[in-house]
Amino acid sequence: MKTLFELPDGFNMIESFLSWEQWLYMVIIPALVVVVITFLIGLERQNVGKAAGISSHVLVGVSALMISIIQRLVYLQEITNGVESPQGQRIIAQVVAGIGFIGAGVIMKDSNNIIHGITTASTIWFSALLGIVLGMGFLFEGIVFGVFVAGFIILRDVRRGINPFVPVIDDMKYKPTPIDDDMKDS
């Protein structure tokens, strides 16, 4: 098989970049925590019939995590190479601003001047913030923060008499249509 470039025998690309322990604590554990917590929050939002569900929350969280990890690696590389004033930390500010636009797209005002979507916008913003916190290396703080927010949202629904793990079809905007038995025979 022809490749674009040849690696020396015995060269391990993954371990040449980071050790397995660094991969574990910088990428794997934060990614698992972000996926699990944003999945739970997205599941709750989806099951109560909101616009942003599992995929939106997980994608925002994982994207912010990866940008945060990359900026952390860029910062470490700048420090290692002797850059006097590293600028790698500026990337995160752009993530926070960009998530504000996504959240603003979820908030709507209806014909009765009632505002909808603030909680969903907040959970999207939280998903990005969780990815940033974990991507910067604050594992303990991120896990505590994530469990607290996920627990808060789930307990809030339970207190209201809603099971956040079961879809509420009556309140959904697009209800599934039942199959008519007469139409199947045609």
Strand ranges (E), the chain: 108-109, 115-116
- The structure tokens listed for 12 are 């391990």
Q: Confidence class of residue 167 from pLDDT cuts 50, 70 and 90?
A: confident
What pLDDT does 2 receive?
A: 55
pLDDT at 5: 62
- The encoded tokens of residue 25 equal 């604590």
Most confident of the ranges 16-20, 32-36, 172-176: 32-36
pLDDT in tens, 106-155: 888 778 877 888 888 899 999 999 999 999 999 999 999 999 999 999 89
pLDDT exceeds cutoff 70 at 173: no
For the chain, the structural domain boundaries read 18-166
What percent of the chain lies above the pLDDT cut of 70? 80
pLDDT tens by residue, 16-32: 667 778 778 888 999 99
Confidence band (pLDDT; 50, 70, 90) for 102?
Answer: confident
Q: Is the pLDDT reported for residue 105 higher than 70?
A: yes
Q: pTM of this prediction?
A: 0.77
